[in-house]
């Protein structure tokens, strides 16, 4: 006998909260036919609840619902009405912001404050930003010859398969949903099987907001079952993925092997470099660089995990950086004053500790941290390695945890070369008072985003995406809309009257 869709969870303070556990297809929560999946609280290592997963038949049902809705309904909804519905959804998310924050703290391990004030607040703002774009997507007239008239139309692609990660389990889906909906597409979203609860609540709000059935469908499941069925489905016109580079490659292979060619957008891994020049405001640089790596427990694709410091100020910067790091409290995400909760699960926890051991074996020195915190939960100390060189695996591979590696450089050209000596190119940063140096580094760094005298600063209007093995395509801003549109050319032969 299967459990009911809505289950009641108990929070650490004794209060209760409800969560959906079924798939969301055609505006209804329905049982899945795949294996049940336990979602685990990384703070306690205990099972929160079990959620349904989608097999190939469930994925097909979700895609069929999205395709039918696109052809018969959603693409014909007036753009201004699409914008009103998206704004209504933003209002409902804001209404339920505490509900989302507590689900995220349980399911993901990030603090209630971070989930509420960053992830969900950003999600609300993202929907509102793209709601404003819905009725401002315009084509152009094109002058050709005197006897012809030509114009372009920007049209929605169709059914979008969005495959999203566990580290920002509401925010990352919203980065895809908002521009896709504004452009007039329908979506089948595969949420991470590790953190499915927040996005299932968002699905309920989609129905409450009044979106037509089939506009958004949510299927939870494992990548090799649910994800593979979704990315290969012949009615899917585009795949938008955020996650590891290895999984991104598999998605490209899967999509290429399907019966229909698909537009692909990939936001993948990173090993971002932060360059601290001798003339930088060192206290400011230390504070920014610290947040740039340890934000979200180090579980961010753009985290500034490699810090290169000019030799003349290396020791001074290191002392300031260590003081900033020591301020970070690790503990229960439901407690006030906590900066860093647990890592997402046992696999990631053991991977991080394994990299810390590897760094020591490679000859790097632990200046701070390096150990597990407590005996229960997946907590890791913020860890700072020094004496790091670019040939070390801890400097080349994505650890995806609270581990930073610090090295030295002598000249700006050397720093740029060190930063670019990576297979990744998602983001980077430079700290300097010299505008010429800032522009030189920004121009020459192989990265999709370069922050100057700051790091990890996002805005809904600012495009984000990588180069090299960090992927291609842009999230956020007007550039993101282009990822969800096809351009059609219409040409008239003018006839004599």
Q: Which positions are catalytic? A: 267
412 Cβ contact partners less than 8 Å away, ≥ 6 residues apart: 275, 277, 437, 440, 441
SS (H, E, C) the chain: CCCCCEEEEECCCCCEEEEECCEEECCEEECCCCCCEEEEECCCCEEEEEECCCCHHHHHHHHHHHHHHHHHCHHHCCHHHHHHHHHHHHHHHHHCHHHHHHHHHHHCCCCHHHHHHHHHHHHHHHHHHHHHHCCCCCCCEECCCCCEEEEEEEEECCEEEEECCCCCCCHHHHHHHHHHHHCCCEEEEEECCCCCHHHHHHHHHHHHHCCCCCCEEEEECCHHHHHHHHHHCCCEEEEEEECCHHHHHHHHHHHHHCCCCCEEEEECCCCCEEEECCCCCHHHHHHHHHHHHHHHHHCCCCCCCEEEEEHHHHHHHHHHHHHHHHCCCECCCCCCCCCECCCCCHHHHHHHHHHHHHHHHHCCEEEECCCECCCCCCCECCEEEECCCCCCHHHHCCCCCCEEEEEEECCHHHHHHHHHCCCEECEEEEECCCHHHHHHHHHHCCCCEEEECCCCCCCCCCCECCEECCEECCECHHHHHHCCEEEEEEEEECCCC
- Report in angstroms the alpha-carbon separations of 463 from 457, 460, 483: 12, 8, 11
């Amino acid at each position: 006998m299967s459990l009911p869709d809505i289950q009641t969870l108990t929070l650490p303070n004794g209060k209760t909260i409800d969560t959906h556990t079924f798939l969301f297809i055609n505006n209804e929560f329905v049982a899945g036919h795949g294996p049940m999946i336990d979602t685990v609280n990384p703070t306690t290592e205990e099972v929160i609840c079990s959620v349904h997963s989608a097999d190939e038949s469930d994925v097909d049902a979700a895609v069929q619902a999205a395709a039918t809705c696109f052809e018969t309904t959603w693409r014909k909804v007036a753009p201004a009405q699409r914008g009103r519905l998206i704004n209504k959804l933003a209002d409902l998310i804001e209404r339920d912001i505490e509900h989302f924050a507590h689900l995220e703290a349980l399911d993901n391990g990030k603090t209630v404050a971070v989930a509420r004030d960053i992830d969900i607040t950003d999600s609300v703002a993202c929907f509102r930003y793209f709601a404003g774009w819905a009725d401002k997507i315009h084509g152009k007239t094109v002058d050709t010859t005197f006897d012809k008239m030509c114009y372009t139309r920007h049209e929605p692609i169709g059914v979008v398969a969005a495959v999203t990660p566990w580290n920002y389990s509401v925010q990352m889906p919203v980065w895809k949903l908002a521009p896709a909906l504004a452009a007039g597409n329908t979506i089948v979203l595969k949420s991470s099987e590790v953190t499915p609860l927040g996005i299932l609540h968002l699905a309920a709000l989609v129905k409450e907001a009044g979106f037509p059935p089939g506009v958004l469908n949510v299927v939870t499941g494992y990548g090799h079952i649910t994800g593979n069925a979704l990315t290969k489905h012949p009615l899917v016109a585009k795949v938008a993925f955020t996650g590891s580079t290895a999984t991104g490659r598999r998605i490209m292979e899967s999509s290429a092997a399907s019966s229909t060619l698909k537009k692909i957008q990939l936001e993948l891994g990173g090993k971002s470099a932060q360059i601290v020049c001798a003339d930088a405001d060192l206290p400011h640089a230390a504070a920014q660089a610290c947040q740039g790596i340890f934000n979200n427990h180090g579980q961010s694709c753009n985290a500034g995990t490699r810090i290169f410091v000019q030799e003349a100020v290396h020791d001074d910067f290191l002392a300031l950086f260590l003081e900033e790091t020591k301020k970070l409290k690790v503990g229960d995400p439901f407690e006030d004053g906590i900066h860093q909760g647990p890592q997402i699960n046992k696999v990631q926890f053991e991977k991080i500790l394994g990299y810390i051991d590897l760094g020591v074996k490679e000859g790097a020195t632990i200046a701070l941290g390096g150990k597990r915190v407590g005996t229960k939960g997946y907590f890791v100390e913020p860890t700072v390695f020094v004496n790091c060189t670019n040939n070390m695996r801890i400097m080349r591979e994505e650890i995806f945890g609270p581990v930073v590696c610090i090295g030295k450089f002598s000249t700006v050209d050397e720093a740029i070369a060190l930063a670019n000596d990576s297979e990744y190119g998602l983001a980077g940063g430079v700290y300097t008072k010299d505008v010429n140096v800032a522009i030189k580094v920004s121009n020459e760094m192989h990265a999709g985003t370069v922050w100057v005298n700051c790091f990890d600063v996002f805005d809904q209007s600012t495009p984000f995406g990588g180069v090299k093995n960090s992927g291609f395509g842009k999230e956020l801003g007007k550039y993101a809309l282009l990822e969800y549109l096809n351009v059609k050319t219409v040409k008239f032969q003018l006839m004599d009257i």
